[in-house]
Amino acid sequence: MSATVTTLAALRAGQSATVRAVTGDSAIVQRILAMGLLEGSDVRVIRFAPAGDPMEVEVLGYPLSLRKSEAANVEVDHIR
């Protein structure tokens, strides 16, 4: 594993990963966590909106849309 941190925002459509941590401002962190994106969750990128942002991911078996700026708060590893 490289030393740089990969975030959910950097994944391509079709890629899956495991959430390692959620960082940032408390309000946004709480919202991300409540949606099920928390340490240990598996997440898969379904698609991006036509303008490349926001993105749609699958977590806990349901589709969730979020902006890249929010996805950048979600650190991931085990990208596959």
Partner 1 sequence: MSDAPGATPAPQSAPATYTRPVIAVVGNPNTGKSTLFSRLTGVRQKVGNYPGVTVEKKIGRIRLAERDADLVDLPGSYSLAAHSPDEMIAVDVLLGRVPGMKRPDAVLVVVDASNLRRNLFLASQVLELGVPVVLALNMVDVADQRGIVLDPRQLGERLGCAVVPIVATARDGKSKVQFASRPAALPDHQASEVPAATSTQLSGFDDLRTALGDAVAAANRAPAAVFPELTAAARELAQTFSSATHQLDPLETERALLDVGSYSEERLLARADTPDQRAALVAALEATRNQLAGDKPIAAVEAARRYQWIFKALDGVEVRGEPRPGWSDRIDSVLTHPVLGLLSFVGIMFVVFQAVFTWSGPLMDLIDGAFGDLGQSVGAALGEGAFSSLVEKGIIAGVGSVLIFLPQILILFLFIAILEDSGYMARAAFLTDRMMRLAGLSGQSFVPLLSSFACAIPGIMAARTIPDRKDRLTTILVAPLMSCSARLPVYTILISSFVPNQKYLGGWLSLQGLVMAAMYFVGIFTAMAAAVLIKRFMLRGPAPAFLMEMPPYRRPMLRAVAQRLWERGGVFVRRAGTIIFAVVLVVWVLSYFPRPEHIAQQYEVEREALAQQTDLDDAARADALADIDHREARDYLEQSAFGRIGHFIEPLFRPLGWDWRISAAAMASFPAREVVVAVLGTTFAVGDDIDVDDDDSAGTMRAALQNATWPDGRKLFNLPVALSLMVFFALCLQCGATVAAIKREANSWGWAIFAWCYMTGLAWVAACVVYQASYALLM
> Binding residues for partner 1, per CB under 8 A?
21-22, 25-36, 38-40, 47, 49-54, 56, 60-67, 69-70
d(CA 73, CA 1): 19
Encode 42-68: b = buried (16+ Cβ within 10 Å), e = exposed: ebbbeeeeeeeebbebebeeeebebeb
Nearer to partner 1 (CB atom), residue 63 or residue 77: 63
CB of 16 to partner 1, least distance (A): 14
Nearer to partner 1, 2 or 7 (CB): 7
